[in-house]
Structure 1
Amino acid sequence: MKNRLLIIEDDAGLNQMLQFHFEDLGFDVTGVSNCSEGMLQLNENAFDLLLLDQQLPDGNGLDLLTEICQKTPGQAVIMMTGQHDLELAIQAIKAGAADFIHKPIRTEALQHVVERVLENKRLSRQVEALQQETPDDLEQRELIGRSDAMLKVSKEIALSAASDATVLITGESGTGKEVVARLIHMHSGKSGPFTPVNCAAIVDTLLESELFGHEKGAFTGAEARKPGKFELAQDGTIFLDEIGELAQPLQAKLLRALQEQMFERVGGTQQIRSNARVIAATNRDLFAEVNAGNFREDLAYRLKVISIHLPSLRERKEDIPLLAKALVEKIARKIHKPPLKLTDEAIHVLQSYNWPGNVREMENILTQALVHARGSLITPDLLQLDAAGPMAAASPTSAANPNQAQKSLDQVEAEHIQLVLDHTGGHKGKTCDVLGISRPALDRKIKKYNLRLP
């Protein structure tokens, strides 16, 4: 996406010369000649950079700079002036200017300053996004498995990385959809950050602000302007996990952001552009949700330009020995213990289980085993699996039940959540781990399906 540049300069010849110069370099340039026109543009549009003259017909640049920085914190501004005044330069930098350049303008020198300021802005965005990552996030960059199913996923990752098209990753909870999204971003060569958002973990009233940002005073507690994830993901990737949980009013705003690559912050009118690539993930059938009236059909098609399906762990049991070994090594580093060896009997037990919670559930089971282990081996007695619980839920017998085939998705989901709640003794934290959903999402489903807590 082109960088947007606003030039506020009353010298018509210089203004036009600068417009031509930066348009030739690929910028989207707007030129105005006074303070009021400049503020009008800033109120309606977001710009990556401003070139601001000091002497203007209806005011001076320093006063306008102060107003801009108060209204739009973080706005990149380069001041231009014909006055060789050191004090003025100091005041401009203190007021928030990114740099200060004297006239007559030398285009090569100005271009160098512009490139440096934009690069610093990009790096600042990337640092802000990376500061929100946890050590666990940084480890989730490896896809483990040698089965044909995982080889197919690896090929799709490579093909997807070469494109900017929207990707929809489907699969059961806990199969590693975020890992796939991170790998697509990592191999895409994008300079911006990977910015994940769990749409089910944030209440609907706050999710709009999380995605698109908000202006100061937009709602109670909004004490300052806050950029949203779409802004932070500029030049990078935004990952929308649990997209099937998105409320319908937000679906409309997301559709516009995807179609036009533009949006407004909550409480704002300024049009903000984003070139972030969108990758979404869901454990639901979005088109079944469309038929049920829960999801917009146009958004479902917009998200599913490229589709990658992740197989469940029970569909690739040949990968379990390799996966279990890698998880044990990862967990050992996290809890500061030496990696233990899984016995052949323990591997057999792991391969015999049906893993309704997939890789996430296996990681939890192996974490418990490492915590309780006293020797150098992980034996079957350390694996706290309940064959009568989740295993039965995924057994061939239940799948073959003719009544099961006549149930709706909601009925199947309600029964499965109740089964896991019974299995965990009503422990919501463990239930969330097995199901791979957030606590708010679980509470909503318990209420929706009128489930009981043991």
Structure 2
Amino acid sequence: MKILVIEDDAGLRRTVSLLLEGEDYDVATAANGKAGLAKAEEWNPDVILADVRMPGMDGLEFVEKYMADGGSADVVIMTAYGSPDTAIEAIGKGAFDYIDKPFAPEALLLRIRIVEENRKKTREIKRLRKEVRVEKRHGEIISSSEGMREAIRLAERVAPHPTTVLITGESGTGKELIARLIHDSSGRPGAFVPVNCGAIPENLLESELFGHVKGSFTGATVDRLGLFEEADRGTLFLDEVGELPAQLQVKLLRALQEGEIRRVGESQSRKVDVRTLAATARDLEAETQSGDFRADLYYRLNVLRVHLPPLRHRPDEVPILARHFLATYSERLGVSVTAFDPAAMKMLQAYAWPGNVRELENVVERVVVLTDGDKVTEAALPASIREPNGIMATSAESLSSDELSVKKRSVQLEKHLISRALTVTDGNRTRAAELLDLSYRALLYKIRDYGLDD
């Protein structure tokens, strides 16, 4: 590590240099602030020790000028005239720390080691970010697999056109991010308005989508815009569109075909200019054949399809995404967790990730909070990842005859998965329903039936 010593006292300058050279540091010196600036620009040190009181340019002026010029070294101020006010002023101008003279050699070396450790952690975080060699599109979308890159290319290509797009993929694969990418690349001046069709009670969904007029039903005390009108000249994103009840499927089809909506309780239609995007984790084509989803609405939505592959089909992205989330949450939470040890990363790659990228992000945020050192170990990972077979790990040979009921074992597994999803999402039932590929209403019923309300 390179250390520049700026000190007008020649004897002290020599003493500090010898001390640091004895610890195998690379040392250069300057006799005043002006010479120190020139040397710092020429030599690019890692750490600068600067006296406060020097002829011409003093230490505080040096710090201010050095930082204004874009200096990257950590500056430690040395002063025999130290006071709390001087320290605060120096740090306010950009100094990393200060030390009062006279100081013991051990005290100075301790300051240097603290600076060195801080720089090491900063470098590690930068290295971690650089190592994440991914293609970023629209902020949060991270991809390195061909399947995701193709989805992004298709989304960007269709964005300028008013074509209705159906985005398919399992929960947690990033369908809303793709929808936002399409909207932001479309040039439409209106808002991006997302709605989860499975999270709104059925009796309120029509009013939510199309609005209502005063007096149209009990509690309708004022006129209210629906989401279609809020998205006028923008984009309406219908997430989990497969959850729409049959009567609303008819009204949605009319809105898409005619470009007009009718508020609840109103006799006149209103024109709207809305780009509609829809997403589902369900097989709507199969549901049209079974009669559970209207075929005409499906064909209207499925003009162009963008499919997002599940994370288990792109395992090479797990380390990339895990390191990205690790760097993100380490910075956001103000901690220095900078790496996964090989055993922990191996477990992450072996896990099937039923909740896809969303589950991976939740797990990484959890381990960042719970890890004490700078490296995530396998012990910090949730039990479901350390023991991925969980409740189903028991071999059939070890089960007694009264434990072979498929129905009973399926109920146990379902209860376990719901409990796990609620734990992963910190009790957020909407997010848990997405992880489980259940509608919000179905999840509420199952939580009640299994006694998981607490």
Residue matched to 1:232: 230
In the TM superposition, 1:227-376 aligns within 5 A as 227-332=225-330, 334-338=332-336, 340-376=338-374
Residue matched to 1:164: 162
Distance 2:178 2:240 in 1: 14
Q: Secondary structure at the match of 1:188?
A: coil
CA contact 1:141–1:182 (8 Å) conserved in 2: no
Distance 2:318 2:218 in 1: 49
* 1:338–1:448 distance in 2 versus 1, CA, 3 Å: closer
Write the deviation string for residues 139-179 of structure 1: whole angstroms up to 9, x where unpaired. Answer: 98431111111111121112221321100011111111001
- 1:227: Cα distance to partner? 0.8
Count of aligned positions: 302
Q: Which residue identity lines up with residue 217 of structure 1 in the other structure?
A: G
Residue matched to 2:199: 201
In the TM superposition, 1:109-120 aligns within 5 A as none
In the TM superposition, 1:31-180 aligns within 5 A as 141-180=139-178
2:442 is the alignment partner of 1:420: no
Q: Which residue identity lines up with residue 238 of structure 2 in the other structure?
A: L
* 1:439–1:357 distance in 2 versus 1, CA, 3 Å: closer
Q: Secondary structure at the match of 1:169?
A: strand
2:208 is the alignment partner of 1:210: yes
* 1:209–1:240 distance in 2 versus 1, CA, 3 Å: same
* 1:299–1:418 distance in 2 versus 1, CA, 3 Å: farther
Structure 2 unpaired stretches of 5+: 1-136, 397-409
Q: Secondary structure at the match of 2:142?
A: coil
- 1:293: Cα distance to partner? 2.0
Residue matched to 2:48: none
- 1:201: Cα distance to partner? 0.8
- Percent of paired sites with the same residue: 41
Residue matched to 2:375: 377
CA contact 2:167–2:175 (8 Å) conserved in 1: yes
2:187 to 164, 167, 189: 189
CA contact 1:175–1:359 (8 Å) conserved in 2: yes
- 1:229: Cα distance to partner? 0.9
Q: Secondary structure at the match of 2:427?
A: helix
- 1:183: Cα distance to partner? 0.6
Q: Which residue identity lines up with residue 429 of structure 1 in the other structure?
A: G
* Range moving further from structure 2, 167-176 or 208-217: 208-217
- 1:283: Cα distance to partner? 0.4
Distance 1:393 1:148 in 2: 34
Write the deviation string for residues 374-410 of structure 1: whole angstroms up to 9, x where unpaired. Answer: 2222222111141587657999x99xxxxxxxxxxxx
Distance 2:256 2:375 in 1: 51
Distance 1:243 1:338 in 2: 41
Distance 2:308 2:451 in 1: 31
Q: Which residue identity lines up with residue 267 of structure 1 in the other structure?
A: G
Distance 1:322 1:225 in 2: 49
CA contact 2:418–2:432 (8 Å) conserved in 1: no
Distance 2:226 2:268 in 1: 14
CA contact 2:154–2:306 (8 Å) conserved in 1: yes
Q: Which residue identity lines up with residue 296 of structure 1 in the other structure?
A: R
Distance 1:280 1:425 in 2: 26
TM-score by length of 1: 0.59
- 1:443: Cα distance to partner? 4.2
* 1:385–1:184 distance in 2 versus 1, CA, 3 Å: farther
Residue matched to 1:125: none
CA RMSD, Structure 1 to Structure 2 (Å): 3.4
Q: Which residue identity lines up with residue 299 of structure 2 in the other structure?
A: Y
* Range moving further from structure 2, 374-383 or 310-319: 374-383
Task: Flag the structure with larger Rg.
Answer: 2
- 1:450: Cα distance to partner? 10
CA contact 1:161–1:185 (8 Å) conserved in 2: yes
Q: Which residue identity lines up with residue 286 of structure 2 in the other structure?
A: A
* 1:309–1:414 distance in 2 versus 1, CA, 3 Å: farther
* 1:444–1:434 distance in 2 versus 1, CA, 3 Å: closer
CA contact 1:201–1:440 (8 Å) conserved in 2: no
* 1:165–1:437 distance in 2 versus 1, CA, 3 Å: same
Q: Secondary structure at the match of 2:185?
A: helix
* 1:210–1:340 distance in 2 versus 1, CA, 3 Å: farther
* 1:303–1:235 distance in 2 versus 1, CA, 3 Å: same
Q: Secondary structure at the match of 1:279?
A: strand
- 1:348: Cα distance to partner? 1.8
Q: Which residue identity lines up with residue 151 of structure 1 in the other structure?
A: R
